[in-house]
């Protein structure tokens, strides 16, 4: 089938910048010095001064611009189309967010400038805190963590601090077998043993097993709701009761919050502590892998332990409160990824309360639409209504020798970024698809068309799928070779 | 679409969410605003911050000129709105730029390998310390008291729950450099690493070679950190370090009230498998063309889960790209010239004030100011934000402030500052 979304065009070749370099070229201008120039060797001591930065590039401004413009055309991006990555919530990144983050008074605010001259920045933080607390139904929040995994670490350190204050930090953290890899990694770094718990045949937390396992050595359960299968844990309140009855807490990974905003609030269904991913739910751009922001919201009992400093009110002014004797300390210098916070607040303002709920509804509708359209062609191991994402299995295609990773690569030829491959681990050969609310029906239909076309190719010409992608300027990349003998930097030819 | 789903209303989409867990009210957030109104709201907020002030603040966040091209490049949607480059075939643009970033970090720091970025300097330091713990299989961490106070705070937060004792090594009251005698007294067979910042928080260039010799003689590693990356344009790279963890905010990243910035971690080749975070490697595609991909993923959380070297996932890719564009624009000569301008400006300013420490300094130094808060108040009247009074972090340094001058600092403002100091 001829893809309707793409056809090939020329891309420019471009080597590494070091190969373009030639002595004496540069792309900068500095003003003339208005003070006497200092001799570095004299000022710093000859031993402390380097003679050159060996092999550092020397290129002109236009060469730098072309270099990156050419490179940029080798990337797929939200701006080019749908990004059905499950659990990643790749939605449109409104450009007003970018514009306001660059407003001089915000972008050039120094974190140590006097509080009296930082009230605007502190107001941004205060307003975002307020909105996120309303959305999560929790009691207090820190915006300091730099990303989701950083938020997880903060959250687990909070749990530990509270338990320690009660006399025993306990030993174990429970994570479902469907959890994101960051969950067990975080628990490990926070000094806990990790215990996996199994999902039921419906993909839910097994209440009986949970009741059996939870004892006074368990510090917390880390749960994702909706689960990584895109299904709401309908027993979440019972889950929380089991943990709470043994003095343990429930941590919620907020990666899937895009399914809940305006519909249900973790604070109302028994969650003690959770993180949000502003670069998912609140539309701040992913930037090829960051920056993110991972605010952590908590119930009252965890509030005394939140990182310092805390935003507080002193008369008519905002102030930073460092006098927090029970605090876990800092998890990051300064006050968090402030520029990301500005963007998230702009997103909340653009949508407003009703708009945020509508976004959730559209996200869930889009994902259910895909489930209905694709279920005749792909195996659906957990065949039930889903929230914001849907997980298929490659069982049918695997029988013909084609696996999820290969279907994903073939999707590239049809003009789409692959879905999340082989995750969650509880689904054999998973295809995890999250369309988000910002995709139109037209884009969804093209995606469906592409997936159906690939399913048919698996039957008729599996080789085409196995060798994909065919249309990209770089064909399938040898990742095994890369890891065998890692070359992680350029060196001049000797 | 509802019909295709066999539904008659959107509310049915949420049947799986039990009523008892639903929100019982409409979100108490005002209805949406238009683009024009949003811009207005944030302009007003921006106006409540400092505007039109000259500033002498550094202390880990530096005001350097950002070439226009940096914003041009990172505003391209192909970089701005792309995901982490797991799908190599449609992410070569991001992968190549990270590979260049890793290379230039190695060239600047004298290390063999560098990762794709960390959140910032403050979180890179504990990650480096944990790396040293894994490498040496020892648990004690020594950190110079002249390392950025907030980096040390973050280190303590990370170290506490892993049972890693952290001890501080003092500074020489005269030079402002690490106190080698104190280091000798504290280094022992359980020390995993000593963490030294240079230029340190006082702006003083450390004698990291002497520190490295002592660390290595004790089987410990030297973790070298920096907060002012422009200094690397002129300072000898820390070849003697085992791990370098630092902050690149100086490379075209606006202060943005403290973030987002971008941290780096680099090391000797032999520790590559202990590095946290993402790494890009060179390889080939099926046609034999040069290609790049994320590599050594078996260190990372999505593969190793609780055995990972770090839990880091999303890092600071776009900010790293800004730094990459900056480094390529300035290049070999430019970074040196930029560093010399910074050095010259700070030297001029220091010449007008009394320096607290005698050690060599780059673009920051500690000045004696009997009543630092009062000096700063009087400077504000002249539309100048002064330095950082050090009493907040170092009670023993009351009566001093940390001042910074960069290529953007004007001579006239330095003259005014000196005038207010002496008044």
Does residue B8 belong to any structural domain of this protein?
no
According to DSSP, residue A256 is labeled: G
CATH code at position A277: 3.40.640.10
Nearest to B57 among A112, A147, A328 (CB): A112
A11 is written with which tokens? 């891309």
Q: Which one of B58, B82, B131, B224 would you mutate to disrupt binding with A, by most A Cβ within 10 Å of its Cβ?
A: B82
Compute the count of residue pairs across chains A and B with CB atoms less than 8 Å apart.
645
Pair B60, B89 in one domain: no
Sign of the torsion angle spanned by Cα atoms B63, B69, B75, B81: negative
Place of tokens 């559209």: A362
CATH code at position B403: 3.90.1150.10
Does this model's pTM top 0.95? My answer is yes
Does residue B95 belong to any structural domain of this protein?
yes
Pair A228, A370 in one domain: no
Report how far residue B311's alpha carbon sits from residue B257's, in angstroms, rounded to the nearest whole number.
26
Pair B59, B73 in one domain: no
Pair B95, B173 in one domain: yes
Q: Which one of B314, B323, B327, B388 would you mutate to disrupt binding with A, by most A Cβ within 10 Å of its Cβ?
A: B314
Pair A341, A204 in one domain: yes
Pair A173, A214 in one domain: yes
CB-based contact B1 A409, cutoff 8 Å: no
Pair B338, B319 in one domain: no
pLDDT of residue A112 exceeding 80, the answer is yes
Q: What is the pLDDT of residue B371?
A: 94
Give the chain A residue nearest B21 (alpha carbons).
Answer: A269
Pair B58, B119 in one domain: no
Pair A311, A345 in one domain: yes
Pair B84, B148 in one domain: yes
- The domain in which residue B106 lies consists of 69-325
CB-based contact A385 B15, cutoff 8 Å: yes
Alpha carbon A273 to its chain's center:
18
- φ and ψ at residue B109, rounded to 5 degrees: -95, -15
Does residue A56 belong to any structural domain of this protein?
yes
Q: How many domains does chain B have?
A: 2
Does residue B12 belong to any structural domain of this protein?
no
Q: Which one of B260, B304, B345, B358 would you mutate to disrupt binding with A, by most A Cβ within 10 Å of its Cβ?
A: B260
Closest CA to A190 of B24, B188, B335, B164: B164
Q: Decide which of B282, B303, B325 is a domain's last residue.
A: B325
Q: Are strands A218-224 and A249-253 parallel, antiparallel or unpaired?
A: parallel
Give the chain A residue nearest B11 (alpha carbons).
Answer: A361
439-478 in A: which are within 8 Å (CB) of B? Answer: 441, 467, 469, 472-478
- The domain in which residue A47 lies consists of 17-74
pLDDT of residue A480 exceeding 80, the answer is yes
CA dihedral A282, A266, B302, A333 (to 10 degrees): 60
Does residue B23 belong to any structural domain of this protein?
no
Q: What is the pLDDT of residue B169?
A: 98
Pair B141, B283 in one domain: yes
Does residue A85 belong to any structural domain of this protein?
no
Does residue A482 belong to any structural domain of this protein?
no
Smallest CA–CA separation between A177 and chain B, in Å? 11
Pair B284, B139 in one domain: yes
In chain B, the largest separation of any two C-alpha atoms, in whole Å, equals 80
Q: Edge-to-edge strands of the sheet including A193-197?
A: A140-142, A296-298, A273-275, A249-253, A218-224, A172-176, A193-197
Q: What is the pLDDT of residue B301?
A: 77
Closest CA to B261 of B252, B270, B269, B271: B252
Smallest CA–CA separation between B309 and chain A, in Å? 8
pLDDT of residue A494 exceeding 80, the answer is no
Pair B59, B181 in one domain: no
Pair A147, A34 in one domain: no
Pair A304, A233 in one domain: yes
CB-based contact B260 A123, cutoff 8 Å: no
pLDDT of residue A274 exceeding 80, the answer is yes
Smallest CA–CA separation between A110 and chain B, in Å? 5
Pair B340, B312 in one domain: no
Smallest CA–CA separation between B8 and chain A, in Å? 12
Q: What is the pLDDT of residues B262-274, one digit of tens each?
A: 999 999 999 999 9
Q: What is the pLDDT of residues B84-94, one digit of tens each?
A: 999 999 999 99
Res. A229 pLDDT band, cuts 50 70 90: very high
Q: A356-360, A372-376, B121-125, B310-314 — which is least confidently predicted?
A: B310-314
128-187 in A: which are within 8 Å (CB) of B? Answer: 131, 134-135, 137, 146-150, 152-153, 157, 160, 169, 180-182, 184-187
Pair A360, A339 in one domain: no
Residues from chain B contacting residue A90 (CB–CB below 8 Å):
83
Pair A28, A53 in one domain: yes
CB-based contact A157 B407, cutoff 8 Å: no
307-346 in B: which are within 8 Å (CB) of A? Answer: 307-308, 310-319, 321, 325, 327-341, 343-345
DSSP notation for A206-230? -HHHHHHH--TTEEEEEEESS-TTS
The parts of chain B modelled with pLDDT lower than 50 are none
Q: Decide which of B266, B298, B325 is a domain's last residue.
A: B325
Closest CA to B212 of B158, B268, B295: B268
Report how far residue A347's alpha carbon sits from residue A490's, in angstroms, rounded to the nearest whole number.
40
Does residue B345 belong to any structural domain of this protein?
yes
CB-based contact A146 B388, cutoff 8 Å: no
B363 is written with which tokens? 């673009």
Q: What is the pLDDT of residue B304?
A: 77
Residues from chain A contacting residue B154 (CB–CB below 8 Å):
329-333
Closest CA to A123 of B42, B61, B40: B42
Q: How far is CA B269 from CA A367, B13, B106, B212, B315, in A?
A: 45, 53, 11, 17, 22
CATH code at position B127: 3.40.640.10
Does residue B141 belong to any structural domain of this protein?
yes
Does residue A9 belong to any structural domain of this protein?
no
Mean pLDDT of A127-141: 98
Pair A341, A359 in one domain: no
Q: Decide which of B309, B325, B341 is a domain's last residue.
A: B325
Pair B249, B389 in one domain: no
Does residue A488 belong to any structural domain of this protein?
no
Does residue B318 belong to any structural domain of this protein?
yes
211-230 in A: which are within 8 Å (CB) of B? Answer: none
CB-based contact B77 A361, cutoff 8 Å: no
Q: Please classify residue A52 by burial: count the beta carbons closer than 10 Å to its beta carbon, then call 0-12 exposed, 13-18 middle and 19+ buried.
A: exposed
Interchain contact A481–B (C-beta under 8 A): yes
Pair A392, A418 in one domain: yes
Query: Per-residue b/e over A3-19, b at no fewer than 16 CB within 10 Å?
Result: eebbeeeeeeebebbbe
Does residue B280 belong to any structural domain of this protein?
yes
Pair A383, A345 in one domain: no
Q: How many domains does chain A have?
A: 3
Res. A114 pLDDT band, cuts 50 70 90: very high
B277, B312 in Cβ contact below 8 A? Answer: yes
- φ and ψ at residue A350, rounded to 5 degrees: -65, -40
Q: What is the pLDDT of residues B332-346, one digit of tens each?
A: 999 999 999 999 999
Report how far residue B92's alpha carbon sits from residue A72's, in angstroms, rounded to the nearest whole number.
8
Pair B339, B290 in one domain: no
Q: Which residues contact B27 (CB under 8 A, 6 or more apart)?
A: A134, A135, A261, A262, A353, A354, A356, A357
Res. A440 pLDDT band, cuts 50 70 90: very high
Pair A395, A309 in one domain: no
């Amino acid at each position: 089938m001829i893809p309707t979304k793409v056809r090939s065009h020329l891309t420019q070749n471009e080597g590494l910048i070091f190969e373009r370099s030639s002595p004496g070229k540069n792309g900068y201008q500095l003003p003339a010095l208005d003070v006497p120039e200092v001799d570095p060797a004299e000022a710093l001591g000859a031993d402390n001064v380097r003679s050159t930065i060996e092999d550092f590039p020397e290129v002109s401004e236009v060469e730098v611009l072309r270099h990156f413009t050419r490179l940029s055309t080798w990337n797929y991006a939200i701006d080019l189309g749908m990004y059905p990555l499950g659990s990643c919530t790749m939605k449109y990144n409104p450009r007003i967010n970018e514009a306001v983050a660059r407003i001089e008074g915000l972008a050039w605010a120094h974190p140590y400038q006097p509080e009296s001259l930082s009230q605007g920045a502190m107001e941004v933080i205060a307003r975002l805190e307020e909105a996120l607390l309303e959305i999560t139904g929790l009691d207090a929040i820190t915006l300091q963590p730099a990303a989701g995994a950083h938020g997880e670490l903060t959250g687990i350190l909070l749990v530990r601090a509270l338990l320690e204050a009660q006399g025993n930090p306990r030993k174990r953290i429970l994570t479902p077998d469907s959890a994101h890899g960051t969950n067990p990694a975080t628990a490990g770094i926070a000094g806990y043993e990790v215990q996996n718990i199994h999902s039921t045949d419906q993909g839910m937390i097994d209440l009986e097993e949970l009741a059996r396992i939870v004892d006074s050595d368990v510090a917390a359960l880390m749960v994702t709701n909706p689960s990584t299968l895109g299904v709401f844990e309908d027993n979440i309140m019972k889950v929380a009761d089991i943990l709470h009855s043994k003095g343990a807490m429930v941590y919620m990974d907020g990666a899937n919050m895009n399914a809940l905003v305006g519909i249900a609030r973790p604070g109302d269904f028994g969650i003690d502590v959770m993180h949000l991913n502003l670069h998912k739910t609140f539309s701040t751009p992913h930037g090829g892998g960051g920056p993110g922001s991972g605010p952590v919201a908590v119930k009252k009992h965890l509030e005394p332990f939140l990182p310092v400093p805390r935003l507080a009110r002193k008369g008519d002014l905002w102030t930073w409160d460092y006098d927090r004797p029970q605090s876990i300390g800092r998890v990051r210098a300064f006050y968090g990824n402030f520029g990301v916070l500005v963007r998230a607040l702009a997103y909340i303002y653009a949508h407003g309360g009703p708009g945020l709920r509508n976004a959730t509804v559209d996200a869930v509708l889009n994902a259910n639409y895909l489930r209905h359209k694709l279920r005749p062609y792909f195996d659906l191991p957990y065949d039930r209504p889903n929230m914001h994402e849907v997980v298929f299995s490659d069982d049918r295609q695997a029988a013909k020798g084609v696996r999820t990773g290969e279907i994903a690569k073939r999707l590239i030829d049809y003009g789409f970024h692959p879905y999340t491959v082989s995750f969650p681990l509880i689904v054999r050969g998973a295809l995890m698809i999250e369309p988000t609310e910002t995709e139109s029906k037209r884009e969804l239909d093209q995606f469906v068309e592409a997936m159906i076309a690939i399913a048919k190719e698996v039957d008729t010409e599996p080789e085409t799928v196995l060798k994909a992608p065919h249309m990209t300027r770089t064909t399938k990349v040898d990742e095994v070779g890369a890891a065998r003998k890692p070359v992680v930097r350029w060196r001049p030819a000797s | 679409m509802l019909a295709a789903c066999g539904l008659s209303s959107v509310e049915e989409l949420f049947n799986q969410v039990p009523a008892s867990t639903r929100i019982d009210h409409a979100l108490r957030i005002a209805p949406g605003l238009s683009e024009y109104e949003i811009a207005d709201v944030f302009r007003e907020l921006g106006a409540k911050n400092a505007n039109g002030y000259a500033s002498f603040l550094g202390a880990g966040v530096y005001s350097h000129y950002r070439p226009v091209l940096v914003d041009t490049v990172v505003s391209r949607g192909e970089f701005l709105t792309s995901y982490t480059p797991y799908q190599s075939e449609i992410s070569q643009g991001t992968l190549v730029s990270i590979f260049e970033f890793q290379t230039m970090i190695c060239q600047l720091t004298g290390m063999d390998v560098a990762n794709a970025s960390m959140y910032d300097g403050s979180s890179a330091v504990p990650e480096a310390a944990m790396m040293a713990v894994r490498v040496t299989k020892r648990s004690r961490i020594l950190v110079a008291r002249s390392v950025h106070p907030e980096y040390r705070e973050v280190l303590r937060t990370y170290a506490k729950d892993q049972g890693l004792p952290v001890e501080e090594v003092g500074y020489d009251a005269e030079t402002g450099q690490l106190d080698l005698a104190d280091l000798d007294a504290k280094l022992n067979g359980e020390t995993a690493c000593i963490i030294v910042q240079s230029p340190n928080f006082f702006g003083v260039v450390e004698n990291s070679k002497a520190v490295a010799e002592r660390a290595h003689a004790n089987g410990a590693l030297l973790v070298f950190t920096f907060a002012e990356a422009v200094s690397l344009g002129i300072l000898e790279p820390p070849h003697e370090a085992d791990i370098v963890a630092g902050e690149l905010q100086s490379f075209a990243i606006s202060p943005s009230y403290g973030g987002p910035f971008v941290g780096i971690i680099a090391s000797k080749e032999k520790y590559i498998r202990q590095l946290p975070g993402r790494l890009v490697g060179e390889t080939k595609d099926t046609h034999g063309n040069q290609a790049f991909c994320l590599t050594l993923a078996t260190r990372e959380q999505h593969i190793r889960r609780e055995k990972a070297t770090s839990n880091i996932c999303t890092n600071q890719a776009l900010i790293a790209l800004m730094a990459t564009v900056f480094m390529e624009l300035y290049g070999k000569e430019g970074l040196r010239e930029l560093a010399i301008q910074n050095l010259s400006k700070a030297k001029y300013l220091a010449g007008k004030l009394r320096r607290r420490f005698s050690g060599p300094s780059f673009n920051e130094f500690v000045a004696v100011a009997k009543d630092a808060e009062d000096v700063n108040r009087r400077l504000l009247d002249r539309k100048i934000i002064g330095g950082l009074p050090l009493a907040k972090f170092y009670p023993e340094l009351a009566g001093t402030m940390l001042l910074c001058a960069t290529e953007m600092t004007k001579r006239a403002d330095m003259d005014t500052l000196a005038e207010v100091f002496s008044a």
